[in-house]
Structure 1
Amino acid sequence: MESRTSLTQLLETLDEANGGKTIRLQDVVETFRSRGFGPLITLPALIALLPTGAIPGVPSLCGMFITLIAVQQLCGRRSPWLPKKLRERGVSHAKLHRAVAWARPWTQRIDKLLAQRLTILQQPAAHRLVAVIVMVLALGMIPLELLPFAAALPALAITILGLGMAADDGLLLLVGLLVTLGVAICAFWLW
């Protein structure tokens, strides 16, 4: 198995790459390019999963962004493309540095759990299937925004699936698919 850069190392690379400047979303895409679509699916899903997901409009925006990324994965793009307005959006290096410092203990824990395994689930056909599932979950976040914290259920499944893609961890993808099944059962039961 090839050695992969850890999530912590990727965040630290992003933090060190643009010392003192604004970090654009395009810089994030370029830093995470080796991880494919996983990080760009995981980050907005986390935003919707955390208490920030209770802010009106946040789950819908996250769901639309995730859908944009998942459609590109479904179409077979090798790396994500973002519209120019989105590519140029950014955050100050100071804010990013604080966020990386806050996230480091969490990413170090996550890095210990992730491994390249069940590689059969890392084939292009499997990633396209995951992209379809992620799109359905992300679009489902939009109407669920009307119910407090309801969008957190699909956001949890998307977060796990995104981490599985980012780490080439087929076992985590399998766990994400099981969580998705649980979300689907909950949705069916509520209707």
Structure 2
Amino acid sequence: MAEGSQPGDLEQVIDEIISLGDDRDTVAVSDMQDCLGQRSFGPFLFVPAIIEISPIGGVPGVPTLLALIVALFAIQMLFGREHFWVPGFLSHRAVSAKKLEKGLNKIRPIIRWLDKISRERFSWAISKGFLRVLAVLCVMLATSVPPLELLPFASTAPFSAIALFGLGITTRDGLLVVLGLVVTLGAFVLVGTGLTG
């Protein structure tokens, strides 16, 4: 299900997404989907997540839109689909190419660092069976995002967990997945606190 990656692969994905805006003013969800092609599930999780973690995530409505995209991919991942489908009303949504480039460049140092330290380990955390567990968790995390938009940048917590899951799957580094599980617990605590506070 998941292909191994070579050093620099994560940053290369960022560069490919940024390059989509070289000849246009906006980048649509469908453009990103075409760019990612039929890679492993990982990029389809971590790309929306890192976009939300970047400054773009501070734009009202963007976290919920990205959460919907993640949930859609995670559900298809849960049922073992290899070719992802995105409905038209989502695929045509677009963001400013300049804002996308600026936002992704802000987090480039983190991606570059993860590229360097990632290696294959904790294989159980990226096994076929466990990927379905991660898919369920991603749906739950995505569902928690809309109410968290009421709290400034609170939605970064669930998206951080989703990003770690996606990065772990992409690089076949189960340690990142385990870290994502820890962040997931923290995100659910934040959701509970935010909704009852």
TM-score interval for Structure 1 and Structure 2 normalised by the shorter chain = 0.7 to 0.9
Secondary structure of 1:39's counterpart equals helix
CA contact (8 A) 1:37 1:80 kept: no
Structure 2, unmatched stretches of 5+, are none
Most deviating of 4-13 and 140-149? 4-13
Most deviating of 6-15 and 169-178? 6-15
Structure 1, unmatched stretches of 5+, are none
Q: Which residue of 2 aligns with 1:4?
A: 5
Select which of 122, 128, 136 maps to 1:132: 136
Cα separation, partners in 2 of 1:145 and 1:100, compared to 1, 3 Å = closer
1:28 deviates by: 3.5
Q: Which residue of 2 aligns with 1:66?
A: 70
Cα separation, partners in 2 of 1:133 and 1:82, compared to 1, 3 Å = same
1:128 deviates by: 0.8
Most deviating of 4-13 and 141-150? 4-13
CA contact (8 A) 1:35 1:167 kept: no
RMSD: 3.2
Secondary structure of 1:187's counterpart equals helix
CA contact (8 A) 1:140 1:154 kept: yes
Deviation readout 1:49-86 (Å, 9 max, x if unpaired): 23332322112111111111111111111232223465
1:185 deviates by: 2.8
TM-score, normalised to structure 2, is: 0.76
Equivalent residue letter for 2:12? Q
CA distance in 2, matches of 1:38, 1:54: 23
Select which of 153, 157, 161 maps to 1:157: 161
CA contact (8 A) 1:48 1:58 kept: yes
Secondary structure of 1:131's counterpart equals helix
CA distance in 1, matches of 2:193, 2:95: 41
Cα separation, partners in 2 of 1:48 and 1:23, compared to 1, 3 Å = closer
